[in-house]
Amino acid sequence: AQRVTQPEKLLSVFKGAPVELKCNYSYSGSPELFWYVQYSRQRLQLLLRHISRESIKGFTADLNKGETSFHLKKPFAQEEDSAMYYCALSGSVHGQNFVFGPGTRLSVLP
Amino acid sequence: NAGVMQNPRHLVRRRGQEARLRCSPMKGHSHVYWYRQLPEEGLKFMVYLQKENIIDESGMPKERFSAEFPKEGPSILRIQQVVRGDSAAYFCASSPRSGGNYEQFFGPGTRLTVL
Protein backbone atom coordinates (compact mmCIF):
# COMPACT_ATOMS: atom_id res chain seq x y z
CA ALA A 1 0.00 0.00 0.00
CA GLN A 2 1.10 3.53 -0.67
CA ARG A 3 1.87 5.64 2.36
CA VAL A 4 3.51 8.99 2.97
CA THR A 5 4.68 10.18 6.36
CA GLN A 6 5.80 13.61 7.46
CA PRO A 7 6.97 13.31 11.05
CA GLU A 8 6.79 17.00 11.94
CA LYS A 9 3.42 18.73 12.18
CA LEU A 10 5.09 22.06 12.86
CA LEU A 11 8.58 23.28 12.11
CA SER A 12 9.81 26.68 13.22
CA VAL A 13 13.09 28.18 12.05
CA PHE A 14 14.59 31.63 12.06
CA LYS A 15 14.99 33.65 8.89
CA GLY A 16 18.25 32.77 7.16
CA ALA A 17 18.54 29.37 8.82
CA PRO A 18 18.55 26.15 6.80
CA VAL A 19 15.33 24.21 6.69
CA GLU A 20 14.58 20.57 5.99
CA LEU A 21 11.08 19.15 5.83
CA LYS A 22 11.11 15.40 6.10
CA CYS A 23 9.11 13.02 3.97
CA ASN A 24 9.25 9.23 3.91
CA TYR A 25 7.20 6.95 1.77
CA SER A 26 6.34 3.32 1.27
CA TYR A 27 5.51 1.96 -2.14
CA SER A 28 6.42 -1.28 -3.81
CA GLY A 29 6.80 0.06 -7.34
CA SER A 30 8.41 3.14 -8.89
CA PRO A 31 6.84 6.18 -7.29
CA GLU A 32 6.57 9.72 -8.48
CA LEU A 33 7.17 12.12 -5.62
CA PHE A 34 5.94 15.68 -5.29
CA TRP A 35 5.96 18.56 -2.87
CA TYR A 36 2.88 20.78 -2.74
CA VAL A 37 2.62 24.04 -0.84
CA GLN A 38 -0.33 25.99 0.51
CA TYR A 39 0.34 29.60 1.44
CA SER A 40 -2.09 31.39 3.71
CA ARG A 41 -5.44 31.98 1.98
CA GLN A 42 -4.23 30.44 -1.28
CA ARG A 43 -4.98 27.17 -2.96
CA LEU A 44 -2.69 24.19 -2.88
CA GLN A 45 -0.09 24.34 -5.63
CA LEU A 46 2.74 22.21 -6.88
CA LEU A 47 6.15 23.25 -5.61
CA LEU A 48 8.35 20.65 -7.27
CA ARG A 49 8.46 17.06 -8.48
CA HIS A 50 11.39 14.71 -8.28
CA ILE A 51 11.56 13.92 -11.99
CA SER A 52 12.19 17.57 -12.79
CA ARG A 53 15.29 17.77 -10.60
CA GLU A 54 14.84 21.51 -10.41
CA SER A 55 15.09 24.13 -7.71
CA ILE A 56 11.99 26.18 -7.11
CA LYS A 57 12.10 29.25 -4.85
CA GLY A 58 15.41 27.93 -3.56
CA PHE A 59 13.92 24.59 -2.53
CA THR A 60 15.32 21.25 -3.66
CA ALA A 61 14.35 17.69 -2.93
CA ASP A 62 16.25 14.51 -3.73
CA LEU A 63 14.61 11.15 -4.02
CA ASN A 64 16.54 8.60 -1.97
CA LYS A 65 15.20 5.20 -2.90
CA GLY A 66 17.43 3.42 -0.40
CA GLU A 67 16.01 5.39 2.49
CA THR A 68 12.61 5.86 0.79
CA SER A 69 12.80 9.55 1.52
CA PHE A 70 12.11 12.77 -0.36
CA HIS A 71 13.12 15.50 2.04
CA LEU A 72 12.60 19.14 1.06
CA LYS A 73 15.50 21.48 1.75
CA LYS A 74 16.37 25.13 1.52
CA PRO A 75 19.68 26.56 2.69
CA PHE A 76 18.36 29.96 3.81
CA ALA A 77 14.72 30.23 4.86
CA GLN A 78 12.72 33.37 4.15
CA GLU A 79 9.63 34.64 5.97
CA GLU A 80 7.56 34.22 2.82
CA ASP A 81 8.31 30.50 2.93
CA SER A 82 5.92 30.16 5.87
CA ALA A 83 3.21 27.81 4.64
CA MET A 84 1.81 24.32 4.83
CA TYR A 85 3.88 21.78 2.91
CA TYR A 86 2.58 18.44 1.71
CA CYS A 87 4.63 15.59 0.36
CA ALA A 88 2.73 13.44 -2.14
CA LEU A 89 3.24 10.18 -3.95
CA SER A 90 1.72 8.85 -7.12
CA GLY A 91 2.07 5.26 -8.18
CA SER A 92 3.15 4.39 -11.66
CA VAL A 93 0.21 2.11 -12.29
CA HIS A 94 -2.62 3.56 -14.34
CA GLY A 95 -5.45 4.70 -12.16
CA GLN A 96 -3.40 4.98 -9.00
CA ASN A 97 -4.38 7.90 -6.93
CA PHE A 98 -2.27 10.49 -5.22
CA VAL A 99 -1.42 9.92 -1.59
CA PHE A 100 -0.65 13.00 0.45
CA GLY A 101 1.26 13.13 3.68
CA PRO A 102 -0.32 14.82 6.70
CA GLY A 103 1.57 18.03 6.02
CA THR A 104 4.12 20.11 7.88
CA ARG A 105 3.46 23.71 8.80
CA LEU A 106 6.63 25.72 8.33
CA SER A 107 6.90 28.91 10.31
CA VAL A 108 9.86 31.17 9.52
CA LEU A 109 10.47 33.62 12.32
CA PRO A 110 11.98 37.07 11.78
CA ASN B 1 -7.84 29.70 -18.23
CA ALA B 2 -9.59 30.39 -14.95
CA GLY B 3 -8.18 27.37 -13.19
CA VAL B 4 -10.14 24.82 -11.23
CA MET B 5 -13.38 26.30 -9.94
CA GLN B 6 -15.32 25.07 -6.95
CA ASN B 7 -18.64 26.26 -5.68
CA PRO B 8 -19.92 27.10 -3.31
CA ARG B 9 -16.88 28.26 -1.36
CA HIS B 10 -18.77 27.93 1.90
CA LEU B 11 -21.75 25.70 2.57
CA VAL B 12 -23.74 25.42 5.76
CA ARG B 13 -26.11 22.53 6.27
CA ARG B 14 -28.13 21.18 9.16
CA ARG B 15 -27.82 17.56 10.16
CA GLY B 16 -29.81 15.34 7.84
CA GLN B 17 -29.72 17.68 4.85
CA GLU B 18 -27.93 17.05 1.59
CA ALA B 19 -24.75 18.79 0.46
CA ARG B 20 -23.78 19.18 -3.19
CA LEU B 21 -20.29 20.36 -4.02
CA ARG B 22 -19.36 21.30 -7.55
CA CYS B 23 -16.03 21.25 -9.32
CA SER B 24 -15.26 22.56 -12.78
CA PRO B 25 -11.85 21.31 -13.93
CA MET B 26 -9.42 23.34 -15.94
CA LYS B 27 -10.15 23.57 -19.62
CA GLY B 28 -8.90 20.49 -21.39
CA HIS B 29 -8.65 18.41 -18.21
CA SER B 30 -10.65 15.23 -18.15
CA HIS B 31 -9.44 13.83 -14.81
CA VAL B 32 -10.88 14.99 -11.51
CA TYR B 33 -9.88 14.11 -7.95
CA TRP B 34 -11.71 14.90 -4.73
CA TYR B 35 -9.99 15.24 -1.37
CA ARG B 36 -11.20 15.95 2.14
CA GLN B 37 -9.29 17.89 4.75
CA LEU B 38 -10.53 17.59 8.30
CA PRO B 39 -9.53 20.30 10.78
CA GLU B 40 -5.88 20.01 11.77
CA GLU B 41 -5.37 17.06 9.41
CA GLY B 42 -3.85 16.53 5.99
CA LEU B 43 -5.51 15.84 2.70
CA LYS B 44 -7.29 12.52 2.33
CA PHE B 45 -8.01 11.14 -1.12
CA MET B 46 -11.65 10.35 -1.74
CA VAL B 47 -12.32 9.58 -5.38
CA TYR B 48 -10.80 9.83 -8.85
CA LEU B 49 -13.03 10.25 -11.87
CA GLN B 50 -12.78 10.61 -15.59
CA LYS B 51 -15.66 11.76 -17.73
CA GLU B 52 -18.61 9.44 -17.01
CA ASN B 53 -16.42 6.97 -15.12
CA ILE B 54 -15.36 6.43 -11.54
CA ILE B 55 -11.81 5.13 -11.68
CA ASP B 56 -10.94 4.82 -8.02
CA GLU B 57 -13.32 5.43 -5.12
CA SER B 58 -11.27 3.67 -2.48
CA GLY B 59 -11.27 6.75 -0.26
CA MET B 60 -15.00 7.33 -0.30
CA PRO B 61 -17.07 6.42 2.76
CA LYS B 62 -19.30 3.50 1.91
CA GLU B 63 -22.53 5.28 2.75
CA ARG B 64 -24.03 8.69 2.05
CA PHE B 65 -21.22 9.84 -0.27
CA SER B 66 -21.31 9.71 -4.04
CA ALA B 67 -19.51 11.42 -6.90
CA GLU B 68 -20.07 11.87 -10.58
CA PHE B 69 -18.41 13.56 -13.52
CA PRO B 70 -20.92 13.71 -16.35
CA LYS B 71 -20.13 14.16 -20.00
CA GLU B 72 -21.29 17.75 -19.74
CA GLY B 73 -21.02 19.97 -16.71
CA PRO B 74 -19.04 19.95 -13.49
CA SER B 75 -18.11 17.07 -11.25
CA ILE B 76 -20.43 16.74 -8.28
CA LEU B 77 -19.64 15.40 -4.82
CA ARG B 78 -22.86 14.61 -3.05
CA ILE B 79 -23.24 13.96 0.66
CA GLN B 80 -26.64 12.77 1.81
CA GLN B 81 -27.96 13.12 5.35
CA VAL B 82 -24.96 15.08 6.53
CA VAL B 83 -23.62 14.67 10.06
CA ARG B 84 -21.39 16.94 12.11
CA GLY B 85 -18.38 14.76 11.29
CA ASP B 86 -18.73 15.70 7.62
CA SER B 87 -17.65 19.27 8.44
CA ALA B 88 -14.41 19.74 6.53
CA ALA B 89 -12.81 21.43 3.56
CA TYR B 90 -13.36 19.53 0.33
CA PHE B 91 -10.85 20.10 -2.43
CA CYS B 92 -11.07 19.20 -6.05
CA ALA B 93 -8.10 18.83 -8.38
CA SER B 94 -7.84 18.18 -12.08
CA SER B 95 -5.19 16.94 -14.46
CA PRO B 96 -5.01 16.47 -18.20
CA ARG B 97 -4.01 12.84 -17.91
CA SER B 98 -3.65 10.21 -15.24
CA GLY B 99 -0.42 9.05 -13.77
CA GLY B 100 2.34 10.66 -11.82
CA ASN B 101 3.87 12.80 -14.52
CA TYR B 102 0.92 15.10 -14.63
CA GLU B 103 0.55 17.80 -12.04
CA GLN B 104 -2.75 18.10 -10.25
CA PHE B 105 -4.21 21.60 -10.21
CA PHE B 106 -6.27 22.38 -7.16
CA GLY B 107 -9.38 24.41 -6.67
CA PRO B 108 -9.88 26.79 -3.74
CA GLY B 109 -11.98 24.27 -1.84
CA THR B 110 -15.47 24.20 -0.38
CA ARG B 111 -15.74 24.54 3.36
CA LEU B 112 -18.71 22.54 4.61
CA THR B 113 -20.11 23.28 8.04
CA VAL B 114 -22.77 21.02 9.48
CA LEU B 115 -24.78 22.51 12.30
Q: How far apart are CA B91 and CA B113, in angstroms?
A: 14
What value does the mean pLDDT take over residues B106-115? 96
- Residues of A in Cβ contact (< 8 Å) with B108: 43
Does A43 lie at the interface with B, CB-CB under 8 angstroms?
A: yes
Please state, in angstroms and as integers, the Cα–Cα distance from residue B85 to each residue in A91, B14, B42, B65, following that order.
30, 12, 16, 13
Residue B15, judged by CB atoms within 10 A of its CB (0-12, 13-18, 19+), counts as exposed
- Residue-level pLDDT at A95: 46
Residue of B nearest to A94 (CA): B99
How many angstroms separate the CA atoms of A81 and B32, rounded?
A: 29
B56 to A90: CB separation less than 8 angstroms, yes or no? no
Q: Which of A4-13, A34-43, B35-44 has the highest mean pLDDT?
A: A4-13
- The band of A97, judged by pLDDT with boundaries at 50, 70 and 90, is low
pLDDT digits (tens, 9 = 90+) for B52-74: 899 888 889 999 999 999 999 99
Give the integer Cα–Cα distance in Å for A34 and A50. 6
A5 lies within 8 A of chain B by CB: no
Q: Do the Cβ atoms of A94 and B99 come closer than 8 Å? A: yes
Q: Reply yes or no on whether the pLDDT at A92 is more than 70.
A: no
